[in-house]
Amino acid sequence: MRAYRAFLLVLLTLGIAYSSPTRAQDGLTCVRFTTDAVQDVGNNCANVPVGTACYGYGGIEISTFGSSAQSEFTQPTDRIELASVQQLATTNLSENSADFGIATLNLQANLPRAFPGKGVVMMTLGEVYLENQVAPDEALILPEEPVAVTAGSNGSTLYSEPSSPVDAALMLGEVAAGTQLQADGVSPDGDWLRVFVLAEKDYAQSSVAWIRLEELAAPVNRRGLPTITADSLTPMQSFNFSTGESQSICGDQPTSLLYIQGPEHIESRLIINGADIHFGSTLLIRLLPPGNILQVIVIDGIALLNANTPDQLVIPPGFFSQVCLSEPDEDGLRTVGSDCAWSEPQILAGDVLESLFTLLDDGIPQNLQYYTTTIPRLVCPSGIGQPLCTIEAGDESLDAYLDELCDAGLLSDEVCEVYGS
């Protein structure tokens, strides 16, 4: 019953009204979802490989790029490679359907092949539609195994991207002679290799760097390594997200969300409805009625919108930003409107933060995540006038992380004041 209460609280505080079912539909109640469905997903989708979607629970339909692979994705525990998925749709919990669809997707995204873990984890909740925007013949497919390389006798310099001539402004650091690195791609000119290395950036660590072949200890067999450009995208790293309008048995409005988690404080990158979103580490994505407002909620770490531009927005934990979407195109897809801009970061209401804490503490199996998500909590003292509300991160490492950002001037004074930093 605790998980049931958690989901009700989320529906209420995320602006989704709840009303009790007027009659049982084959024993169907909201309790079935909260007590059965999510827990089943933890069993059905354990140990999903990177680059794979898993049939978690309920009603799910897919279409593929010119093949019949969808016939292999028809029941819980089934898996399918993301490179072949063109569309994926999950159903809502309604009086006409006993299937609350939940799919999990483990994306390679921008992470290197040698990076340990699950990739970027996504979970659809309710009536969600995902349209893959990376065609199979354009997708970056990393090798099954990275290639081991060794820094030369004078060490090697790491760069954030390849350049010719070499641009010192792109330097990330150096590695000592004899250092072993794992490479998974080559630059278009063949002079650089992309390697797995954790490098400090302003808001999160990068997981990749570029190294010149001439600085390595021995020649490298580049056969089998894909060419990687600034525009390269792995399967489903870019997708269109939309939600349906069916009425949920748990309320008068849809209960459809997309949960995303990357490695903790490691920069991940996805393109959602044309919006380039960098983050580290946990987000919720939803559409606001009537489906033309895309909202990004940060529940752990940082999100960067308009990253690496003069208009960059930094969204910290407990805040959200939203942007309007275009009218549907001929395929029914909406993208960020040409005359729209992301809103300034806004703090979530305290009851929303509390509901997210309860849901994520009880609702999502931990074997599907990298870590237990720490949800910030809003504390508003009583008193005359309008006392300042503060956010308590609730985790020492997150507190220290936010303090570092504030000390470095990477968060505004107003935001830092909310965190007490």
Write the pLDDT tens digit of every residue in 78-103: 999 999 999 999 987 665 555 678 89
7-50 confidence digits (pLDDT tens): 333 433 444 333 333 333 433 455 455 556 777 888 999 989 99
Q: Choose among 239, 327, 345, 250: nearest CA to 291.
A: 327
Residues in the chain, total: 421
> Within the chain, which residue ranges are assigned CATH 2.60.120.1440?
2-136+234-368
Both tokens assigned to 256 = 């459809």
Distance CA 62, CA 80 (A): 10
C-alpha distances out from residue 12 to 19, 98, 99, 286, 356, Å: 10, 22, 21, 15, 11
Whether the pLDDT of residue 214 is over 90: the answer is yes
Burial category of 223 from C-beta neighbours within 10 Å (exposed 0-12, middle 13-18, buried 19 and up): exposed
Handedness of CA 395, 399, 402, 404 (dihedral sign): negative
217-273 confidence digits (pLDDT tens): 999 988 889 999 999 999 999 999 998 765 555 554 335 789 999 998 899 999 999
Phi, psi (rounded to 5 degrees) for 97: -145, 130
Q: Give the pTM.
A: 0.88
User: 147-215 is classed in which CATH architecture?
Assistant: Roll (2.30)
Distance CA 253, CA 241 (A): 18
> Within the chain, which residue ranges are assigned CATH 2.30.30?
147-215
CATH number of this structure's domain 2-136+234-368: 2.60.120.1440
pLDDT of residue 40: 86
- 102 touches 37 (CB < 8 A): yes
52-83 confidence digits (pLDDT tens): 999 998 889 999 997 656 667 899 999 999 99
pLDDT of residue 11: 38
